[in-house]
Structure 1
Amino acid sequence: MSDSAPRRRLLPLIGHNGGRSRATCRFRCGDACFHEAPNTSANEYFGDIYAGVLSRRNVLRAGAVGAGATAVGLNGAFTPALAAPGGRGPNPRLGFKAVEPNTVDAVTVPKHYDHRVVIRWGDPVAADAPEFDFAGQTGEAQEKQFGYNCDYVAFFELDDRRGLLWVNHEYTNEELMFDGYTDGSAADLEQIKVGLAAHGGSIVEIERVRATGAWKLVTKGERPYNRRITATTPMRITGPAAGHRLLRTQDDPAGTEVLGMLNNCAGGTTPWGTVLTCEENFNQYFVGGEDAPAEAKPALRRYGIATSGDTREGNRRFDRVQERFDLSKHPNEANRFGYVVEIDPLDPTYKPRKRTMLGRIKHEGATTRITEDGRVAVYMGDDERFDYIYKFVTAKRYREGSRRHNDTLLDSGTLYVARFTGNSPDEEIDGSGALPSDGRFDGSGEWVRLCDNERSYVEGFSVAEVLVHTRQAADAVGATKMDRPEDFEPSPVTGKVYCALTNNTARTPEQADEVNPRANNKFGHVLEITEKGDDAGATAFGWIVPIVCGDPEDESTYFAGYDKSKVSPISSPDNVTFDARGNLWISTDGHPGTFGNHDALHAVPVEGRHRGELRTFATVPAGAECCGPYITQDQKTVFIAPQHPGDGGTVADPVSTWPDGDFPRPSVVSIWHTKGKDIGF
């Protein structure tokens, strides 16, 4: 047996799609998997339609790398070439023994590694933040303290010893925050205010612990950058949709200002050093859809907002403290959420911008690359069953050092959606996960224009309507339905772009296609995109599915052709990042209900002879999902963000007591090699 992955029989699937508890599904995404997928368009699957056809320096490096191998496929379609034996670039092999799957209520790491909590829910962000009081938390206190479920993490160096940590606060688990909580209708109003304040994001200054890869929160002295962003922070709406009638409300008749951001999941950074944070499952916060105007209901439903029944039942009931969340009175308020939000961590006076030019979807991931001619491309997923993959390319070029110019880049350009074509006969894609006769799931694709600043390319839609009703616009051009596309990341070595597709148990065998090759896709897969000419501004690309996740003993799994007896199990890939050598790191959101083990952070080479040799690097506590991850530029630290530890329990009956042995607290953790070696080696 290889030391990379001890073999053990894994437990069968427990529960529903992805394996999260029903409580987490309720609070995170409004029970999305228990309802019909919002995409009810008549779009066929691509096999039926098109069968013939960082810190600043990290991002800059990703945009400047050389081209990967490419080739012209059948019928002139652009497809990635198979890597030559050994690969063209670095040929790294992971240098740690895989962590065994487990159910330990702790963060576990490989031998010779250590970890520590950097910051946890309730820790001070503002200098005048009160001490955290679990039993007596208030909204005013929470606005100055670290928020709840932490997801996307970014790090910005200030000097060799200090830096700024950005963390998304995706959503709240009220049943783990308040003793005896049932639902928002019965909740104390102060609890609702705490929930509003616990959303958003945090910027905090952290410092290195001695000369190690460990980091801790700075709690003394001036902390001028520390800042909380919440669900009530004033923000600007920018881009072509700003001011459109669909964004105007009673409180904002100009349609250019909005309070707060909701359900911020993954994200990215820009070459000019800002954070792009993504609003995802915003639909669950609104009530009153049953009494919204009839003309608004189709669009509301397309975004998963209930328009019938009692929409208040089981809801957080933010409308009890802010009426704007009641769509019967403010039907346009929901149109003001679902955007990529740009925030400058180095400028506390910077008012967050909701960039409408990047479209309105359930955004997950907004990762940038520099195009061949110096513009900026942003890759984005829409995290919903049967929804789409998008790209935005700026109209203007990036100017290094010109903050004023670069602040305008994301307001003009072209928004695209992806269509995929497989190169295997339809009969060879049967939904079982069996490889076609050419030995791989691959093909070509095109980026289909939706709009630019001056023109809509979707019949019947204005530019602003494309940007507010982006899902419907993508439906109209026949975009390819995907299995919950989540985070994106480009390789700093090859420039190829990787997307985590988390799962989709609703896909039937008849709906399987080569880019989503498995029906009842419990475990998800990873997609690799090679832009034509390695130019992020290209409108054609090749693609391959290098990893089909699950138990390696399952015949439907695939690890880039690597010996499956030597790889670790993985389920529901979610957030992704790269180390400097070009290894892909994948955090997961699904193990508790799929293998009976805890969620984890995995690493896998994607080039060379070890391509596909996936190993588990760390596991997270009971009930938690592994978020982040982020590897520092010096390669000495990886940050992870275990969110919703204790999922499935309550305050009175806890499932987890991590990290302090009392009640569970979502936290950010730093992991490092005790002998100072690079992460993973």
Structure 2
Amino acid sequence: MNEQDNALIESNHGDEPLSNHSDNPHFSTILEKRLSRRQVLTGSLSAAVVGILGLPGLLADAQAKKHPSTTGLPVPAKPSFTLNPTLNFKAVPVTRSDTVTIPAGYKAQVIIPWGTPITGNYPAYAPDASNSGTDQEQQVGAHHDGMHYFPFEDNPNGHGLLVVNHEYVDPNILHTHGPTLVDGQRPADEVRKEIAAHGVSVVELEKEPANGDWKVVNGPYNRRITAGTSMEIRGPARGSDLVKTKYSPNGTEARGTINNCGHGYTPWGTYLTCEENWAGYFVNRTPRPREHSRYGVSTSNSRYRWDTAQGGADEYVRFDASTKESNATKDYRNEPNTQGWIVEIDPFDPSAKPIKRTAMGRFAHEGCWVAPPQPGKPVVFYSGDDAQNEYIYKFVTKARYHKDVRGDILDEGTLYVARFNEDGTGEWLPLDINNRYFHAMSLSKGIFFLDQADVLVNTRLAADVVGATKMDRPEWGAVHPQTYEVYMTLTNNSSRTESGIDAANPRAPNSYGHIIRWQEQGNQPWATKFKWDIFVLAGPEGDSQILPELGGPALTPDNIFASPDGLWIDQNGILWIQTDMSGSQQSSGPFGNNQMLAANPYTGEIKRFFVGAEDCEVTGVVSTPDGKNLFVNIQHPGDRSAPNSFTSNWPDHGNIFAHPGDPVVIANPSGARPRSATVVVTREDGGSVGM
């Protein structure tokens, strides 16, 4: 009988261990001091928001500007944008039902669940999870996360490519009887299947005119990019000694993209997939260099023990980053250094090799969000490092934006890290070996870098050097398409103590999380200074607040939430907030299952719109250009399942969605195997979602 490996099963979630031991200031300390010194403002909440952010002054300018399409493709004009959207639906109550719950007047469809055949021989999904690794390489991956919709010009609101991240896998569900470990080794095909279930799916979708349902088009654009796909290394780290491996002795190629969480897209119509908690996939049983230890590469066992796959194939051995040979070109000591990047994918060219854009830094990328591009100006991307006490970054291209610009613009530029000050101001600190400030700080702390490739491979260490502010797990960001304000979720931080709180991270421990926002100096995304405040402190009714600096209200039963994660501002100005609460927080707290809320950034109004299935995370949100088809991902339903004993049966039990007041759906442990999937939400009257 095969031995079940409990350690393997327990490590599936893959959150990084705390690895930032620098003495840099905590955001919570800064925020506490800021809030204690705030002036009490009078007047309506909306007036207060205007006073802080100056929105009316920006409105005239925003309406006068015409920015290039953010998809890079010709699409119809978007609906008239408003800075004060109306949330025209009744809030959904908290629920723990094993289904998706949406407001009355809405309906939902499930598309591309894990295992959907999309390419090759189109192998059918096996409900008992008996599909092979080869099958999985031709099927939609597991644990859907960030995604973007790229429309076709012929019918942009009914025909497009949906590009979806697959963050990680749950071996208890992925395999018929769960993961196995035999004499200290993993079966090779189990490992192959897990590697194939990671990565990205590119899926062509079309809306059927007769009934409005979306279907997969079995066409040439469909593609699987996995943790084993060959990729090119570009930017300053290309050819560096730090990325040379047995697979690529000249340091120009890498294999695979791992733990793809949030995403981004470019103005020229490509997709950015972001490598988050990749460090746990590796093991180094020899002394670790700083580019391993600062990111938490294990010294005992890798997360899924892919390095132990039976047969010892090179594609699996590479996950053992121990020093075994005389130099780096003969082993895989540098393999972890080929992960942790932003990867650019051209969804419209299935033959194009994905490119790791190393100028944008190496860390646990939650996502990558572009500011609206302006002709003749640099292009700016924001990103968060999703681990406790890590940092917020932005990348500013050296070249300027124009209509013919393409991905090579990402290979040169300046990576900055944020410092938040107590007085509500902040500054962007350059991580550039040729910058005098960076050089002086490096010398003062006795930490040295050989070249810019060294700085970027060791981005976290470089950020430690310049004194960035430690944050409460920076997650998703969103850039307002007209005001350019940036919002970012800080999901939680159980490790923060009272002595470590600061103005921007005001609670210790921070169990519920919050959302911060800032505006760049002169409303210019490439500026090096900014102003910031808190949009909302998440939590229950007794420990939460909207716009706390302005004395805003606490959350109510219509909008209490915790652990904010996904974030997006849609065509109508609605800020969509998604949550990733832990299983215990869902089961024992007042919040119910993970959810998605709609917010008005102008007034601070927040209403719960969507509640997910049992044990799932609600993540990833995007719509068609007309705002009438909202795509939302349900990740890891039933993630507390044991092999063949499931805590969710969604969506294959058939109870895809419900309205408030419908009977609660209870999971059957011996019922259907849960599957991550994408939900398409539409209004029954055909109108814009959320309005």
- The residue that corresponds to 1:198 in the other structure is 197
Secondary structure, counterpart of 1:363 in structure 2: coil
More deviation, 255-264/185-194: 185-194
In structure 2, distance between residues paired with 1:85 and 1:147: 46
d(CA) in 2 for partners of 1:651, 1:507 = 35
Q: Distance in 2 between matches of 1:311 and 1:135?
A: 26
Are residues 1:415 and 2:418 paired?
Answer: no
SS at match of 2:506: coil
Q: Deviations over 1:73-115 (max 9, x none)?
A: xxxxxx9446679999632220111111111111111100000
Q: Is the 8 A contact 1:268 1:367 kept in 2?
A: yes
Percentage of pairs with the same residue: 40
Once the two structures are TM-superposed, the CA of residue 451 in structure 1 deviates from its matched residue by 1.5
| Matching of residue 396 in structure 1 with residue 399 in structure 2 | yes
Partner of 1:364: 366
Partner of 1:588: 579
Q: CA deviation digits over 1:551-593, x for unaligned, max 9?
A: 1x22344356146347411111111111222221011100642
- Cα distance, 1:350 vs. partner? 1.1
1:224 is aligned, of 220, 231, 252, to 220
Contact 2:173–2:641 (CA under 8 A) maintained in structure 1: yes
Seen in structure 2, the aligned counterparts of structure 1 residues 450 and 69 have a Cα distance that, compared at 3 Å, is farther
Match of 2:241 in 1: 245
Is it true that 1:510 corresponds to 2:507 in the alignment?
Answer: no
Q: Does residue 1:387 correspond to 2:366, yes or no?
A: no
Question: Superposition pairs for residues 79-228 of structure 1, below 5 Å?
Answer: 80-81=52-53, 90-133=83-126, 134-158=128-152, 159-160=154-155, 161-182=158-179, 185=184, 187-210=186-209, 214-219=213-218, 223-228=219-224
Change (3 A) 1:602 1:52: closer
Give how far 1:370 is off.
4.1
SS at match of 1:364: coil
Which of 43, 52, 62 aligns to 2:24? It is 43
- Name the counterpart of 2:596: 601
Kept after mapping to 2: 8 A contact 1:47/1:422: no
Query: Distance between the aligned counterparts of 2:483 and 2:346, measured in 1?
Result: 28
Aligned-partner Cα distance in 2 for 1:383–1:563: 27
Correspondence 1:208-607 to 2 at 5 A = 208-210=207-209, 214-219=213-218, 223-287=219-283, 289-291=284-286, 294=287, 296-307=288-299, 310-311=300-301, 315-317=305-307, 320=310, 321=313, 322-328=316-322, 329=324, 330-370=332-372, 373-400=376-403, 402=404, 405-423=405-423, 443-451=424-432, 457-458=438-439, 459=442, 460-461=448-449, 462-551=451-540, 553-558=541-546, 561-562=552-553, 564-565=555-556, 567-590=558-581, 592-596=583-587, 597-607=592-602
Give 1:413 deviation, angstroms.
0.6
Change over 3 Å in CA distance of 1:349–1:477 after alignment to 2? same
Change (3 A) 1:236 1:313: closer
* Number of equivalenced pairs: 601
Cα distance, 1:116–1:157 mapped onto 2, change above 3 Å: same
Equivalent position SS for 1:28: coil
Q: Which residue of 1 aligns with 2:40?
A: none
In structure 2, what residue type is equivalent to 1:634? D
CA deviations 1:408-438 (Å, max 9, x no partner) are: 1100011100000022xxxxxxxxxxxxxxx
Deviation at 1:457, TM superposition (A): 3.0
Give 2:647's aligned residue. Answer: 655
Q: Is it true that 1:616 corresponds to 2:611 in the alignment?
A: no
The change in CA–CA distance for 1:348 and 1:83 in structure 2 (over 3 A counts) is closer
C-alpha distance in structure 2 between counterparts of 1:512 and 1:25, whole Å: 31
Letter in 2 for 1:147: G
Greater shift in the superposed pair: 169-178 or 43-52: 43-52
Return 5+ residue gaps in structure 1 as ranges.
1-20, 54-67, 72-78, 424-442
* 8 Å CA contact 1:585, 1:601 repeated in 2: yes
Which range moves more in the overlay, 124-133 or 386-395?
124-133
Q: Contact 1:28 / 1:281 at 8 angstroms: preserved in 2?
A: no
Deviation at 1:141, TM superposition (A): 1.0
Structure 2 CA distance for aligned equivalents of residues 565 and 231 of structure 1: 42
What is the Cα-based RMSD across aligned positions, in Å?
Answer: 2.9
Task: Give the C-alpha shift of residue 514 in structure 1.
Answer: 0.8
Q: Secondary structure at the match of 2:344?
A: strand
Structure 1 residues 550, 69: CA separation in 2 closer, same or farther (over 3 Å shift)? closer
SS of match in other structure, 1:164: strand
Q: Could you tell me how far apart the structure 2 residues matched to 1:510 and 1:52 are?
A: 12
Deviations 1:137-181 (A, max 9, x none): 111111111011110010011132311000001111001112332
Contact 1:512–1:518 (Cα < 8 Å) also in 2: yes
State the AA in 2 paired with 1:244.
S
Secondary structure of 1:380 counterpart: strand
C-alpha distance in 2 between matches for 1:24 and 1:530: 43
What is the DSSP-based 3-state SS (H/G/I as helix, E as strand, rest coil) of the residue aligned with 2:568?
strand
**Cα distance, 1:213 vs structure 2:** 6.4
Q: Per the alignment, do residues 84 and 257 of structure 1 end up closer, same or farther by CA in structure 2, a change over 3 Å counting?
A: closer
- Alpha-carbon deviation of 1:28? 2.8
Following TM superposition, by how much is the alpha carbon of 1:621 offset from its aligned partner in structure 2, in angstroms? Answer: 0.9
